[in-house]
Amino acid sequence: MSDASTKAAPSAEPPARAEREFTVKERTQFQIVLSRFLRHRAAVVSLVVLLLIILWAYLGQRVWPRAYNWLEGPGSAAPSLQYPMGTDEVGHDYFSRVMRGAQQSLNVAFLVALLSTAIGAPYGAIAGYFGGRVDMVMMRIVDVMLTLPVIAVAGMLTQYLRGTWWVVALILAGFGWVVNARVVRGVVLSLREQEFIEAARALGASDARVIFRHLIPNVTGVLIVQATLDIAGAILAEAGLSFIGLGIQGPDTSLGLLTNLSQEAVGTRPWLFYFPGLTIIAIALTINFIGDGLRDALDPRQTRQRR
Amino acid sequence: MIAYTIRRLLAAVPILIVSSFIIFWVASLSADPIRQRFEGRNPPPPAATIQLERERLNFDAGFFRQYWDWLWNLVVHQDFGPSINSAMNIGSELGRRTVITFRLVILAMVLAVILAVVTGVLSAVRQYSRLDYTFTFLGFLFLAMPSFWLAVVLKQGAIAFNDSVEGNLNRRPIPTINHQASVVPEEFWPRMMDIALHMVLPTISLALITYAALSRFQRSSMLEVLNSDYIRLARAKGLSARRVMVRHALRTALIPLTTVTALGIAAILGGAVVTETVYQWRGMGDLLVTAVVAQDRYVTMGWLLVAGLFVILGNLAADLLYAVLDPRIRYE
């Protein structure tokens, strides 16, 4: 009885209670980021929607009965159960064309983001780390890239090289990496003054080791967020180029090309114009929300909670 | 600061030379525009005609020689070189079209900045309120919208509106194509009115596309300022909420926006090219697209010089404005 009463008394076992209160489950960096990301409702919904769009664009074509270049349907049929997005004037099944277009646009966007990061991150890190004359020369090259009009160069090259999706992606990445380089350079400029870099150098780390083992890992968060911006930007850039006829060329298709071809039909056969356009918006919108969620989740200074 | 400005402007010269050379090199990669133009003509043009055309366009000179001749003529004679279209003087055409495009770009930019400041500041002041979420969603929506798509949708809306107001095809309340009426009014005020009406749709679509990114930026810079210590001090001193917001917070929070806006000139020019295509303006966008398709290399290079100059001036303006507005920054 006395045992039970001492256990029940609040002041009887202070050490055990304290222990219980201060035992915190250890969480890795990844778990912290994940739980913060999950709190951003718009980002989570966007992630699900985007994954569905990707599945639809890449796998849907295998399941759907009619290929994107099948053209035996009725001409200019309105959306129906059989043709969910209608048909165009030559009898293409528009649903499978939008699917194909989304796939090509996503191909371009992912390759652009990958290449821009792979080129821009080391470039910016090297310029920012060494500073001085190296930085000046490297940044003048960036200035030249920034004055070149993307539309002119891309337009001339896609005509010359027959615009397939990877040509368009290479050209857009050829301009896109500049932004990543500037962002990384900016972060590295402040990182390189911090103690851990000084410590690494004092321990005898080579420049290459400092850049690739210490600086770039610390820029990862910024790079991931920038990659989402790259993807959204590339989707819109590809659409814009294809829209003025200087991007992906027929007989292949992309979301921008589809809107271009249906521009005149918007009054009479609106489905030809709105479906590819809404797909572009859906992709770019979800990616922007995901990027926003990632930025909040990866920022260690972020303390204010979302309601 | 004047020395700094001059140094930056001088640094712009080699940048423009290098980028025009790159354009020239890319243009020379593609097929021969003369052959493309005369190919398949029946009867085939006499060899002498082709030869004359080649000479006019300076195609028989070597690669570097051609570029050098172009640069020399530009610097010494202010001559932008021959166009494939022999009736076109590239220099005066560029001048005319720049005026048309820049009245669109500048007005759209002003509108976008006003819209961005209003929505960004309101969002920040009422962070995580319903208003903030609405503005945030709208911002993201316009950020995700291709400029041409919004332009076509607005144009379609205007056409429907015109049809509902008046059936007469000759008098449309909101013009949907071209930058001026096909018959330009003689007197001053009707002409200005005509130009203004033609600007309505392109300006709205370009401004909406541009404001979104600026508004997000304004929101975060305003938030940063509002959470800083000196704002708490201003409140603690007992200043009115209005005075704290306008005199202390807003003035500081506008500084980053100036820079971002000036840096965004390149993006707005790109957006203007697409917007002009939709509304069939005869501005810089049409000039560029036509030149690229026809492989009219000297027109493309001239376009690059004008656009590149504005991008460089924009970047310079961004840096200088930063120094003027933020006393902590000094350029030697």
Q: ipTM, 2 decimals?
A: 0.82
CA distances from B58 to A122, A150, B142, B296, B301 (A): 42, 26, 46, 13, 15
Taking CB atoms and an 8 Å limit, are B148 and A148 in contact across chains?
no
Average pLDDT score over residue span A10-34? 66
Q: What is the pLDDT of residues A24-55, one digit of tens each?
A: 777 787 888 888 888 888 899 999 999 999 99
How would residue B218 be classed by pLDDT, with cut points 50, 70 and 90? very high
Contact call for A244 and B274, based on CB within 8 A: yes
Name the minimum distance, in Å, from the CA of B16 to any CA of chain A: 7
Cβ–Cβ < 8 Å for B296, B84? yes
Interface test mutation site (partner A, options B149, B227, B277, max chain A beta carbons within 10 A): B149
Q: Report the pLDDT value the prediction gives residue A173, as an integer from 0 to 100.
A: 93
Spatial distance between the Cα atoms of B295 and B33, rounded to a whole number of angstroms: 6
List B89's β-bridge partners, or say none: B82
Does domain A30-298 fall under CATH 3.20.20.70? My reply is no
Angle between helices B130-144 and A216-243 (to 10 degrees): 60
Using DSSP, state whether B243 is helix, strand or coil.
Answer: helix
Q: Under an 8 Å CB criterion, which residues of A touch B? A: 140, 143-144, 146-153, 155-157, 159-160, 232, 236, 239-240, 243-246, 256, 259, 263, 266-267, 273, 277, 280-281, 283-285, 288-289, 292, 306-307
Sheet strands (E) in chain A: none
Nearest to B221 by CA among B106, B116, B111: B116
| B300 CB-side CA count, 13 A | 29
Better-predicted residue by pLDDT, B138 or A301: B138
Per residue in B32-71, pLDDT tens? 777 777 777 777 777 787 788 777 877 777 788 888 888 8
More confident residue, B318 or A170: A170
Taking the CA of residue B178 and the nearest CA in chain A, the distance in Å comes to: 16
A7 has a pLDDT exceeding 50: no
Yes or no: say if A128 and A188 are a contact pair by the CB < 8 Å rule. yes
Range name among A78-92, A138-152, B133-147, B303-317 with the lowest pLDDT average: A78-92
Name the residue in chain A with its Cα closest to that of B268. Answer: A149
Q: Do B152 and A266 touch (CB under 8 A)?
A: yes
pLDDT at position A9 is 46
Does residue B227 surpass a pLDDT of 80?
A: yes
Q: Do B23 and A153 touch (CB under 8 A)?
A: yes
Whether A124 shows a pLDDT value over 80: the answer reads yes
Asked if residue A12 has pLDDT above 50, the reply is: no
pLDDT at residue A8, rounded to an integer = 45
Give me Rg for the CA atoms of chain B: 25
Q: Would you state the pLDDT for residue A284?
A: 94
What's CA B61's distance to the chain center, in Å? 35
Nearest-angstrom CA–CA distance, A172 and B270: 14
SS3 state at A32: helix
Which pair of structure tokens corresponds to residue A93?
């099944």
Mean pLDDT throughout B17-40?
A: 78
Lowest mean pLDDT: which of A35-49, A78-92, B308-322?
A78-92
- 3-state SS, A222-260, equals HHHHHHHHHHHHHHHHHHHHHHCCCCCCCCCCCHHHHHH
Per CB-CB distance under 8 Å, the chain B contacts of A263 are 152, 278
Which residues have a Cβ under 8 Å from the Cβ of B258 and sit 6 or more positions away?
Answer: B318, B321, B322, B325
Mean pLDDT of B147-171: 80
Residue B169 in this model has a pLDDT that exceeds 60? no
pLDDT tens column, A222-272: 898 899 989 999 999 998 888 888 888 877 888 988 888 888 888 788 888
B277 close to A (CB below 8 A): yes
How is chain A split into domains, by residue range?
30-298
